[in-house]
Amino acid sequence: MAPAKRPAANIEAPEAKKPCVQADGKDADEGPGASGGLHDVLSCLRSGLAAEQTYAAQVAALEKAAGDLMNQWDLWIAEKRYRIAELEAYVHSPHHADPYAHGDEGQASCGVWYFHKKGGTYKSGSFKGMDLACGDKAGDVYAGLLLRSIVDAADKLTEGPCLVVDKILELNGKASIAAFADGRSAADLSALETKGLRLERAEAPRSDRVRSSARVGLVLREETSEEMKGPKTHMQGRPVEFCTRPYRFSTVAERLTKFRSGFAATAHLSGVAGADKLGLSAQNFSKYVKAAEDGKSQDPSSWVNRKISTQPELCEFIGACHGVLDLLPSGMYVLPCFDSVLTWQGALFIKQGLYKGAVFKFRLVLPEEYPDQGPDLFFTSEVFHPMVDPKTGQVELGSLFPEWRPGRDFAAFALPHLHKAFLRREYFASNARPALNPEAKQLFISDPASFAERAKACANKSLLHVYDNASGSSLQFTKGPAEAHDAILEHLKADPSASLEERKTAFIDWFCDHYAHKRTRVGVAQGDAEVGVGTAMRTTTSPAHLL
């Protein structure tokens, strides 16, 4: 099915956002005491994640919205109380182009029930599904939370989108979705007032833990274009960036039978220490974790148009796409220069492979016309690699950006590309990638042992220049006192059960608290600005997302 075509988004936000509407056209949750109402819960989706600039922030916002619905609200079906136990989030907007959102008009309203359609007809059989729609047509936002599982007052689980819809129809005595809708569009099916299907605040709010995983049943597709033939996603966007995002949320992950392994793989790859096995056998849990690790060395393109049929396949696929999710790879640090925001200094710590132990410094240069024109990337360290010009240090980016597409390509996409160049064989020997150092490519193919020696020598040489700091660079290497290093390690080890994100935050907070008294004067175009070290660290924790 061809992707839904939408008019270009208006980059100027309307003066006032229309709140989620009820069936009678009145504004929902806008009266006295409305704080924390359904409108507030869904606000991040309805805005199209406009305020959430990073991948981590987007995941956190969607997880909070899903958690609030599952723990703070009850679902009443024909006057029988249920709680939502599993959701999947889909958001397509100018800020978050998830191509797997349906793009149906039903997803362009907020706070209403949208039963899935195809070609204007309700889906039937095992393809049935229902969203709590969270969109905003005026903002070009098409969004929904798919109800995957519900639990009744006796703790009986109904699992699967199709079975959830079947339960709604059964309890309401309706033979079909069309009979339940009775001629009403999604915009007329208020989630707060529809007879036989409504949400109410829970009288006894819950605090169940929310776990996340990749969504179920999605297939990685090529990025859609007008001339493209074959399978396509519903809407425009980069499928590889969204197909395995952890937008499936559940408070009963240990009870689910459908691809429970995804929760284990996602927790493992996110660095969650001591992740529980979710009721999986030790053998299966280890198998799923290994599959996720194995997938990390794979090219996501090898999964295009492949249907996921088994639990290990899902974990392997999640691993393969994991490096695409966060644009700043592990072991890489990037900061803008003090004298120009168009030049970014970076350092890459190589932890495995032929260059293991190396610390390579690089410079990402944005043209004045960015984002209408693409960036250039140069190593300032001496790097012997087929993709690196031995005279200038320039890195080959033509294979990544054959044709620069403003608004769809961003400089940050070059960072995982650079990281993988030292780990994957195709970056050394593939004819699809032009060699800026033909000597290095030929040596890799004809005499791998000699190439390995050159790579090791290159890595060792990089360590001799770690403390050579470029003028104007905000990324400075200094030899700190051993006691400071020990203090940092002690703080990081203080809570071994903390997740990777929690440990990152703890380190930044510790750093800011201990070094906030140190000030650095930075010259800027408008004059001198005094910036505290703590401020700089908090601002640039994930600088790649600014690119």
Mean pLDDT by 10 residues, the chain (547 residues): 33 33 38 58 94 81 96 97 98 90 93 94 94 95 97 97 98 97 96 97 94 94 65 80 94 95 91 74 93 85 89 93 67 82 89 88 92 92 94 89 77 81 79 86 94 95 89 77 67 62 63 47 31 33 43
Distance, first Cα to last Cα, the chain: 33
Helix, strand, coil tally for the chain in percent (to 5):
35, 20, 45
DSSP 394: B
Residue among 147, 149, 108, 107 nearest 129 (CA): 147
Cα angle 52-57-62, degrees, rounded to a multiple of 5: 90
**Alpha helices, DSSP H, located in 438-517:** 438-446, 448-464, 482-492, 500-515
For the question of whether the overall pTM of this predicted structure is more than 0.75, the answer is no
Residue among 416, 415, 419, 458 nearest 437 (CA): 458
Which two structure tokens, joined as six digits, stand for 399?
A: 């294979």
- CA 126/CA 116 separation, integer angstroms: 12
Give me the DSSP letters along 247-267.
-EEES-GGG--SSTHHHHHHH
What pLDDT is attached to residue 524? 29
If phi > 0 it is left, if psi is from -120 to 50 it is alpha, else beta; for residue 351 that is: alpha
- CA 336/CA 21 separation, integer angstroms: 44
- CA 462/CA 231 separation, integer angstroms: 46
- CA 265/CA 287 separation, integer angstroms: 10
Q: Distances from the Cα of 256 to the Cαs of 165, 430, 522, in angstroms?
A: 17, 43, 54
Which two structure tokens, joined as six digits, stand for 218?
A: 């999605």
What pLDDT is attached to residue 53? 65
In the chain, which residues fall in CATH 3.10.110.10? 332-465
Q: Check if the beta carbon of residue 100 is closer than 8 Å to that of residue 242.
A: yes
Into which CATH architecture does domain 332-465 fall? Roll (3.10)
- Which burial class, exposed, middle or buried, applies to 378 when counting CB atoms under 10 A from its CB (0-12, 13-18, 19+)? middle
- CA 415/CA 246 separation, integer angstroms: 21
Q: Check if the beta carbon of residue 144 is closer than 8 Å to that of residue 132.
A: yes
Query: Which residue type is seen at 150?
Result: I
What pLDDT is attached to residue 492? 62
DSSP 137: G
Give helix 500-515 / helix 482-492 axis angle, nearest 10°. 140
What pLDDT is attached to residue 335? 84
Q: Distances from the Cα of 67 to the Cαs of 72, 88, 204, 234, 265, in angstroms?
A: 8, 11, 15, 27, 20
Which two structure tokens, joined as six digits, stand for 259?
A: 């691809």
DSSP 159: E
